[in-house]
């Protein structure tokens, strides 16, 4: 099976080593090489490769964020010098990894896995945001959220996220007066954000605590969180109790 591949690594030497290994296999065609995450998303969108080899730590967007956005890649192999947390995440996910420095035999095994995956009737998939979450150390949380907006990539710093509202399997993200749609569940997003900074006010709402101006009574067992921009977010009894815990028991 001939494979079309995209390589993404910010180190030119690392790309050259991987390129030389791949070109020894006469069935690999390298259709693009990228030095950062933005370039990788663009190349994968345009070239639609069979496999993308992604470094984990890259400028602008990391490998996890590229995986999250570059859905046109049929398979992804991470090339990484990452630690045990990432290894645990990779092994549990439907993607392979090459730990730097890797041998020709290890790369050959990875290519065999790629070909097996491509030949499957129903390819295995993994939620990229869940993979990224699993790779973080305990107590580490997202500092930015990436969203694909057509061919462009929007990076939202979490301190500029006002709130997220669940819409089926998507979340609507509100930041700096604009709304962005992202395919992710509200529960998964909540798990990736610092619970001291973001409050699940309601089963469908996740709110940046710093954006809450006040909380007003609504019905007997519900409240409304009024945000700085005037948005009113519903607050359940559980959400209200959690809010009081976070602010020290004051309304």
Q: Which residues contact 95 (CB under 8 A, 6 or more apart)?
A: 67, 75, 76, 77, 78, 126, 131
Output the pLDDT for position 25: 87
Output the pLDDT for position 249: 57
- Look up the pTM and report it: 0.79
Contact of 199 with 242, CB cutoff 8 Å: yes
pLDDT above 60: residue 125? no
In this prediction, residues 166-179 reach a mean pLDDT of 95
Task: Tell me the pLDDT band of 138, cut-offs 50, 70 and 90.
Answer: confident
pLDDT above 70: residue 225? yes
Q: Which class is domain 144-246?
A: mainly beta
Q: How far apart are CA 238 and CA 92, in angstroms?
A: 33
Tokens of 181: 């749609």
Task: Tell me the pLDDT band of 180, cut-offs 50, 70 and 90.
Answer: very high
Query: 3-135: which CATH number, 3.40.640.10, 3.40.50.2300, 3.90.1150.10, 3.40.50.720?
Result: 3.40.50.2300
Output the pLDDT for position 251: 46
Give the start-to-end residue ranges of the domains of the chain: 3-135, 144-246
């Amino acid at each position: 099976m001939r494979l079309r591949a995209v390589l993404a690594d910010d180190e030119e030497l690392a790309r050259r080593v991987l390129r030389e290994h791949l070109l020894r296999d006469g069935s690999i065609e390298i259709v693009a090489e990228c030095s950062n995450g933005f370039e990788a998303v663009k190349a994968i969108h345009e070239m639609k490769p069979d496999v993308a080899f992604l470094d984990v730590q890259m400028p602008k967007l990391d490998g996890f964020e590229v995986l999250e956005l570059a859905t046109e890649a049929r398979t992804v192999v991470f090339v990484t010098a990452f630690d045990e947390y990432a290894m645990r995440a990779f092994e549990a996910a439907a993607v392979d990894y090459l730990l730097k420095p890797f041998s020709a035999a290890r790369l050959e095994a990875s290519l065999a896995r790629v070909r097996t995956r491509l030949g499957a009737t129903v390819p295995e998939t993994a939620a990229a945001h869940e993979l990224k979450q699993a790779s973080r150390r305990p107590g580490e949380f997202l500092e930015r959220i990436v969203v694909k907006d057509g061919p462009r990539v929007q990076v939202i710093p979490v301190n500029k996220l006002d709130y997220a509202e669940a819409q089926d399997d998507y979340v609507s993200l509100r930041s700096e007066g604009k709304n962005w749609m992202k395919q992710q569940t509200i529960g998964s997003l909540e798990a990736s954000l610092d619970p001291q900074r973001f409050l699940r006010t309601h089963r469908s709402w996740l709110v940046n605590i710093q954006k809450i101006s006040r909380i007003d009574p609504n019905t007997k067992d519900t409240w409304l969180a009024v945000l700085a921009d005037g948005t009113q977010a519903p607050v359940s009894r559980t959400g209200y109790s959690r809010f009081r815990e976070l602010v020290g028991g004051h309304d």
